[in-house]
Amino acid sequence: MRVVITGATGFIGRALCKELHKDYEVIALSRDSNRAAKSVGDWAKVVEWDGRTTGTWIQQADGAFAIINLAGENVASGRWNKSKKAGILHSRLDSARAVLDAIKQVGKKPTVVIQASAIGYYGSCGDKGLDETSPAGKGFLADVCRNSEIIASQIEEAGVKCIVIRTGVVLGSDGGALPRIMLPFRFFLGGHLGSGRQWFSWISLDDEVAAIKFLMENENLKGVFNLTSPQPVTMKKFCRKLGWIIRRPSWLFFPGFIMRLALGEMANEMLLSGQRVLPKRLLAAGFEFEYPDVKKALKAIKAQKRKS
């Protein structure tokens, strides 16, 4: 059976290709086929795609078991100016529309489409626990997530089961947020951002990949799922656990006004506020987390890093 993955060269996409190639024919869509081939190696067949249209990759969608849309510009790669925000928004909406258009055109529709979203959907909600029934919040990320999910809802109308995954901060050894968080710790400058009381809803890369595969293969599941650990922590607690694991102090804190001066709106939405998100539907479906506890997850990531 064939699985088509957009955003396959990203942090989650690479790990997903590596896992799924054991059981599936994996097709990785990329705007840079040469770079993608080096990134995914033998885990997937690379097909060129512009990120906006159906093009020739529609042949891979025809008769595929699943399409997993992870495409989107990195939201944490720099200050959000007008151009950056437009890139973040349109990269997600364009890819979602392309998947929808492909589904409408193929002769044999895929069984399931998985559309990536994020816990930014909920906006900043203080200490309130959030599950999949919680409403959309306010802010740029909430608007991006809500609009991409509106397009995803049309996939169901086109006759294909759709699963939306609202993912938290993904922790792994070779990418994502963790290496950047760890950097000041390595110079004995570790500490939390802002008050440290903001919630940090996370998931290990291993559990992220396992959850996507679990949802893809379970024919009875559809709709929205939060992909976060069932044990979110505050930013201060996370940094203390990280410092303990890598044997570095977590004694500094970086005031909010400095973060706002440096990163503007991005600091407010991604670093100085948070969400206490719970994977209620994923747990109810019977998924078992390998790393529900942040200490256990960080220890495993440290061990993986040593082996690589």
- We report the CATH number of the domain holding residue 219 as 3.40.50.720
Mean pLDDT of all residues in 279-299? 97
Q: What confidence category does residue 260 fall into, taking pLDDT thresholds of 50, 70 and 90?
A: confident
What is the DSSP secondary structure assignment for residue 34, as one 8-state letter? H
Q: Is residue 35 part of a domain?
A: yes
pLDDT band at 238 (very low <50, low <70, confident <90, very high): very high
Cα-to-chain-centroid distance, residue 276: 16
Q: What's the DSSP call for residue 136?
A: P
Residue 52 above 70 pLDDT?
yes
How far CA 279 is from CA of 118, 119, 191, 292, in Å, comes to 12, 11, 27, 11
> How much is the pLDDT for 257?
78
Q: Is the pLDDT of residue 308 over 70?
A: no
| Containing structural domain, residue 132 | 2-176+202-228+276-290
Judged against a pLDDT cut of 80, whether residue 306 lies above it is answered with no
| pLDDT of residue 99 exceeding 70 | yes
Burial 73-108 (b: 16+ CB within 10 A, else e): bebeeeebeeebbebbbbbbbbbbbbbbbbbeebee
| Cα→Cα distances 7→12, 62, 73, 195, Å | 8, 19, 9, 34
Question: What token pair was written down for 161?
Answer: 């089961």
Hey, what amino acid is at 280? K
Nearest 5 degrees, angle CA 161-CA 290-CA 211? 10
- The predicted-structure confidence for 116-155, as pLDDT tens digits, reads as follows 999 999 999 889 999 999 999 999 999 999 999 999 999 9
- Whole-model pTM: value is 0.95
- Which among 28-32, 77-81, 194-198, 207-211 has the top mean pLDDT? 207-211
| Residue 305 lies inside a defined structural domain of this protein | no
Banded model confidence at residue 163, pLDDT cuts 50, 70, 90: very high
CB contact at 8 A, 34 and 12 = no
Structure tokens at 277: 């998100």
Helix (H, G, I), strand (E, B) or coil at 238: helix
Confidence tier at 275 by pLDDT (50, 70, 90): very high
How many folded domains does the chain comprise?
1
Task: Report the distance separating Cα 302 and Cα 296, nearest Å.
Answer: 10
The pLDDT of residue 36 is 84
The confidence band for 262, taking pLDDT boundaries of 50, 70 and 90, is confident
* Structural domain includes residue 243: no
**40 — phi, psi (to 5°)?**
-95, -15
Task: Find where tokens 């390595």 sit.
Answer: 186
Q: Report yes or no on 264 lying in a domain.
A: no
Evaluate whether 122 touches 275 at the Cβ level (below 8 Å): yes
Whether 108 is covered by a domain: the verdict is yes
Residue 195 maps to a domain: no
pLDDT for the residue numbered 289: 98
Average pLDDT, the chain: 92
Query: Smallest Cα–Cα separation from 234: which of 187, 289, 272, 282?
Result: 272
Residue-level pLDDT at 164: 98
Q: Which residues pair with 250 in a beta bridge?
A: 190
Q: Would you say residue 83 lies in a domain? A: yes
249 pLDDT more than 70: yes
Chain centre to alpha carbon of residue 37: 22
Residues 6 or more apart whose CB falls under 8 angstroms from that of 57 comprise 4, 27, 29, 47, 48, 49, 102
Q: pLDDT exceeding 70 applies to what percent of the chain?
A: 99
Per residue in 130-140, pLDDT (tens digit) is 999 999 999 99
Q: Residue 71 has what pLDDT?
A: 94
At 195-224, the pLDDT tens digits run 899 999 999 999 999 999 999 999 999 999
261 in a structural domain:
no
User: What H or E segment, with its residue span, contains residue 42?
Assistant: none
Neighbouring residues of 217: CB distance < 8 A, sequence distance ≥ 6 = none
pLDDT, greater one: 308 or 227: 227
First-to-final CA distance of the chain: 30
**Mean pLDDT over residues 18-44, rounded?**
90
Nearest CA to 30 among 49, 2, 54?
49
- Return d(Cα 66, Cα 56) in angstroms, integer: 17
